[in-house]
């Protein structure tokens, strides 16, 4: 008969095999399917409710560059800035769902955003703090005016040149027109020899006071509340030419400028974002392919942007205009070490690639850290096959000969309809061509780099933030008296961090729903595997030991 210890040993081995099967095959497949089911957005599901209303608000932190020597800058001095902040806001996002596609694989929505000032998190700073900051709306108006009139003049030069090609005996004049275009002179330089344009600029210069509230410099003294949300007022009871200028500004359709009840205008950085959204997003629900959940399919019924330059071939979309990734509120599940993923930011009109950096732990939840790479704003130009970002819309600024900005800066003119330049906070990693012209910047990768920590299994963001800085070139413009002695510098205005830190309630919920379950399954896996092996080995040893004690009968 088979000894009982062999039977128990065989049973232990079976338990060990079962534990290995469960731990390495059955449990992972069960968890994988459960995660797939949980991330898919279906009408009425828990995921749908979290999709419509984020379980917790995002943190929106604003840091302002207060200018400490504005009077001296007007005389040509290098700007000195001092960071003030953070001014912390809670950003609530709610999606207004329009419809699902027929097969349920896509969902369309408009996103409403609301900001609430967090006084406790902002202390000792308040929204009533007074600041001296770059007068964004006046500076933008002057540079846009310069660009548009220059474009008109260059267009006239092109048309004239076309006629000159058909007219004999005017080669000297033709060479003059080619010289003007070749040097890409601004209209404000050309106007020195053009009485009509010079007169136009004289009228503009004379009416700046009436349009922009009698400015003494290119900087404005205002409150944080007005600069960020309520609006810095201008165009107050303008008359004559000033009124015509104000009407032109109003009709330009800038999102950052709003008409007030009394007919005046007001500029603010984020006032237009506080309320109902307008862009219509279409994203993947994950049905049929959970790895594509929340991937943006269309924006305003288009698969691509029409913001950046496109390839010369008709119908070929450049890499700059491609819409890739999610909106950063969540990410696809089943992340792997060494992979990358995309987010799309409508605020800067582009997709951004994030790269795996390292493993992390956030309050006991394991995950992966991702961060931006050099291809965000450092490696831009024809040598990096993304010259489509070089829109070359700014005249007489610090840029390369090919029209691209130096490393670490991106021209958002075609994105925002304003000459705004994007950098990382404190111009982290930017070319010395820009940083050497500003005093008071203190770049720090730990504080200023964009990153996100993601739970690898579900794609849930644990903590992180998008960190970017908005700047504008400050420069002298011919015949505009207030700019007469200005240095040419890339002037910082504000930098923002938009991100999340999973709060205690969400951490507890996440651990209960996933982490604790994974730990339990892991315990069952190793307990059955090790227990089965232990029992099998012990019983086998016992059997061998008992066999050794059997005494053979003596030979007669």
- Under DSSP, the state recorded for 26 is I
Query: Tens of pLDDT along 497-547?
Result: 998 888 888 788 777 777 777 778 778 878 887 887 888 788 778 777 777
Strands 340-345 and 296-299: unpaired
Q: How far apart are CA 550 and CA 556, in angstroms?
A: 19
Domain that holds residue 157: 136-214+232-267
> Could you tell me if 404 and 463 lie in one domain?
yes
Task: Report the 10 Å Cβ neighbour count for 543.
Answer: 18
Query: Is residue 556, in this structure, part of any structural domain at all?
Result: no
Mean pLDDT of 257-269: 93
> Could you tell me if 533 and 390 lie in one domain?
no
Query: Is residue 341, in this structure, part of any structural domain at all?
Result: yes
Mean pLDDT of 94-109: 94
> Could you tell me if 497 and 520 lie in one domain?
no
> Could you tell me if 371 and 441 lie in one domain?
yes
Query: Is residue 453, in this structure, part of any structural domain at all?
Result: yes
Query: Tens of pLDDT along 365-388?
Result: 899 999 999 889 998 988 988 889
Length of the chain: 556
Q: State whether residue 399 is helix, strand or coil.
A: coil
Segment of 147-156, 302-311, 353-362 carrying the highest mean pLDDT: 353-362
> Could you tell me if 424 and 467 lie in one domain?
yes
Own/partner contacts of 73-78, CB < 8 Å, gap of 24 or more, are 73/217, 73/218, 73/219, 73/474, 73/486, 73/487, 74/217, 74/218, 74/482, 74/485, 74/486, 75/485, 76/485, 76/486, 76/487, 77/487, 78/437, 78/438, 78/439, 78/487, 78/489
Q: Report residue 414: phi and psi, to 5°.
A: -75, -15
Query: Is residue 42, in this structure, part of any structural domain at all?
Result: no
Query: Is residue 462, in this structure, part of any structural domain at all?
Result: yes
Query: Is residue 336, in this structure, part of any structural domain at all?
Result: yes
Q: Is the peptide bond before 124 cis (omega within 30 degrees of 0)?
A: yes
Interacting residues of 442 by C-beta distance below 8 A, sequence separation 6+: 83, 426
Q: State whether residue 52 is helix, strand or coil.
A: helix
> Could you tell me if 300 and 348 lie in one domain?
yes
State the pLDDT at residue 437: 94
Strand partners of residue 64: 84, 494
Question: Do the beta carbons of residue 186 and residue 146 sit within 8 Å?
Answer: yes
Least confident of 144-153, 198-207, 211-220, 296-305: 144-153
> Could you tell me if 404 and 319 lie in one domain?
yes
For the record, the structure tokens of 474 come out as: 């400050």
Q: How far apart are CA 444 and CA 271, in angstroms?
A: 29
Segment of 57-61, 143-147, 201-205 carrying the highest mean pLDDT: 57-61
For the record, the structure tokens of 231 come out as: 């609006």
> Could you tell me if 282 and 418 lie in one domain?
yes
pTM above threshold 0.75: yes
> Could you tell me if 362 and 477 lie in one domain?
yes
For the record, the structure tokens of 39 come out as: 């991330």
> Could you tell me if 17 and 95 lie in one domain?
no
> Could you tell me if 353 and 337 lie in one domain?
yes
Residues of the chain with pLDDT > 90, as a percent, come to 50
> Could you tell me if 303 and 393 lie in one domain?
yes
Query: Is residue 370, in this structure, part of any structural domain at all?
Result: yes
Q: How far is CA 204 from the centre of its chain?
A: 36
Structurally, the chain folds into a number of domains equal to 3
């Amino acid at each position: 008969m088979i000894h009982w210890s062999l039977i128990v040993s065989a049973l232990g081995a079976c338990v060990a095999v079962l534990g290995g099967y469960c731990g390495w095959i059955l449990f992972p497949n069960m968890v994988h399917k459960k995660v797939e089911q949980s991330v898919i957005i279906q009408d009425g599901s828990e995921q749908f409710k979290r999709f419509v209303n984020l379980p917790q608000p995002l943190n929106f932190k604003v840091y302002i560059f207060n200018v400490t020597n504005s009077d001296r800058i007007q005389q040509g001095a290098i700007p000195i800035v001092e960071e003030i902040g953070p001014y912390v806001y809670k950003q609530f996002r709610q999606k207004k769902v329009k419809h699902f596609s027929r097969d349920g694989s896509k969902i369309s929505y408009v996103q409403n955003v609301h900001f609430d000032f967090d006084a406790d998190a902002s202390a000792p700073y308040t929204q009533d703090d007074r600041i001296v900051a770059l007068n964004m709306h006046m500076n933008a108006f002057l540079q846009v005016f310069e660009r548009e009139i220059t474009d008109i003049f260059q267009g006239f030069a092109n048309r004239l040149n076309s006629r000159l090609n058909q007219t004999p005996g005017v080669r000297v004049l033709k060479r003059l027109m080619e010289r003007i275009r070749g040097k890409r002179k601004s209209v404000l330089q050309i106007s020195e020899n053009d009485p009509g344009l010079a007169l136009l600029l004289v009228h503009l210069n004379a009416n700046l006071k009436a349009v922009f509230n009698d400015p003494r410099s290119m900087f404005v003294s205002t409150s944080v509340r007005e600069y960020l949300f309520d609006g810095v007022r201008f165009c107050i009871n303008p008359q004559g030419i000033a009124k015509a200028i104000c009407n032109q500004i109003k009709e330009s359709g800038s999102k950052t400028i709003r008409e007030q009840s009394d007919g005046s205008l007001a500029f603010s950085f984020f006032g237009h974002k506080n309320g109902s959204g307008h862009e219509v997003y279409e994203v993947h629900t994950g049905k049929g392919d959970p790895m594509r959940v929340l991937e943006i399919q269309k924006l305003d019924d288009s698969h691509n942007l029409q913001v950046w330059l496109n390839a010369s071939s008709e119908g070929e979309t450049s890499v700059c205009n491609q819409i890739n990734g999610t909106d950063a509120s969540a990410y696809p599940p089943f992340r792997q070490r060494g992979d990358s993923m995309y987010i799309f930011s409508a605020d800067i009109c582009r997709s951004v690639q994030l790269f795996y950096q390292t493993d992390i732990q956030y309050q006991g939840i394991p995950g992966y850290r991702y961060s931006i790479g050099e291809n965000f704003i450092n490696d831009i130009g024809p040598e990096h096959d993304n010259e489509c970002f070089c829109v070359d819309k700014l005249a007489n600024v610090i840029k390369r000969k090919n029209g691209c900005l130096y490393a670490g800066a991106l021209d958002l003119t075609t994105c925002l309809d304003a000459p705004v330049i994007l950098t990382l906070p404190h111009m982290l990693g930017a070319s010395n061509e820009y940083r050497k012209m500003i005093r008071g910047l203190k770049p720090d990768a730990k504080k200023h780099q964009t990153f996100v920590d993601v739970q690898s299994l579900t794609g849930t963001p644990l903590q992180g933030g998008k960190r970017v800085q908005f700047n504008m070139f400050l420069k002298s413009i011919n015949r505009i008296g207030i700019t007469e002695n200005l240095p040419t510098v890339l002037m910082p205005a504000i930098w923002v961090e938009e991100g999340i830190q999973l709060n205690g309630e969400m951490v507890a919920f996440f651990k209960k729903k996933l982490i604790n379950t994974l730990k339990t399954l892991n315990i069952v896996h190793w307990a059955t595997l090790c227990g089965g092996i232990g029992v099998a080995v012990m019983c086998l040893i016992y059997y061998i030991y008992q066999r050794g004690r059997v005494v053979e009968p003596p030979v007669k």
